[in-house]
Amino acid sequence: MSYFDFLEELGIVNPNTSSLQGCIEEYIHGIPCGDRLRTGLLFEEDENYDELQQDKYQNEFIFKLLQFISLGGSLNQWEQSITEYIESVKDLYKDLVSVAKDETTNEVRPMSHVFKITGLDSTNGVEFPSEAAHPQNFTYVIVDPLKWHVTVFQNKWTSSW
C-alpha cells in the first residue's frame, strides 16, 4: 500500500527487503520494542517519534490500525516484515470501513465515519475505555451510513504477568 511508503522514507523499513529495521530492545509501556517501528511509535526520544505523532498520521484510522497491529498485545509474537502488518491492516480496514465511488470525482473513497471515544468521570477520575492510560487502550465507533451499521472496535491492554 503506497500510504505506508513514508515508513521507508523514515528509515523504519528497509526498502529492498521490506524488513523492519531492528534496534536494541527496550520495554516501553510494557511492550518490548525491538524494531524501529514500535520504538518510533512509543519512545519519545526516538528520532521518528515526533514525525509519527503528527496529526497527518494520528488522525488517519488506517495508521491507528497499523499502530494497534504492530504494537500487539502482551503475548504477541512480532513479525520482522512490514508486509505481514500491512496485509493484516488492509484486511481489518476492509472489514471495518465501507468504501464507495464518489459520483462527482469517480474515485473510490471511504464512506464510513470513525469516532474515537474517550471520557473522564469527574467523580472518581476513571477514564474510558480503561482506568489506566496506555497506547493500546482505545474504543472506536465506526458508522457506516450506506448500510446503517455501527461497529465498535475496542481494545484494553492487559499485562501477561
What's the distance, Cα to Cα, between the start and end of the chain in Å?
A: 36
Interatomic CA distance for residues 63 and 76, integer angstroms: 19
Interatomic CA distance for residues 38 and 31, integer angstroms: 9
The larger pLDDT score, comparing residue 140 to residue 78, is at 140
Pull the grid cell for residue 144: 457506516
| pLDDT score of 160 | 72
Per residue, the 3-state secondary structure of 35-63, as one string, reads: EHHHHHHHCCCCCCHHHHCCHHHHCCHHH
| pLDDT score of 34 | 92
Q: What is the DSSP letter of 80?
A: S
Pull the grid cell for residue 107: 474515485
Residues 10/46, Cβ–Cβ less than 8 Å:
no
| pLDDT score of 131 | 67
Q: What is the DSSP letter of 5?
A: G
Q: Is residue 75 very low, low, confident or very high in pLDDT (cuts 50, 70, 90)? A: confident
Pull the grid cell for residue 140: 472506536
* pLDDT of 129 higher than 90: no
Q: What is the pTM of this model?
A: 0.88
23-51: pLDDT as tens digits: 999 999 889 999 999 999 999 999 999 99
Among 26-30, 79-83, 102-106, 123-127, the range scoring the smallest mean pLDDT is 123-127
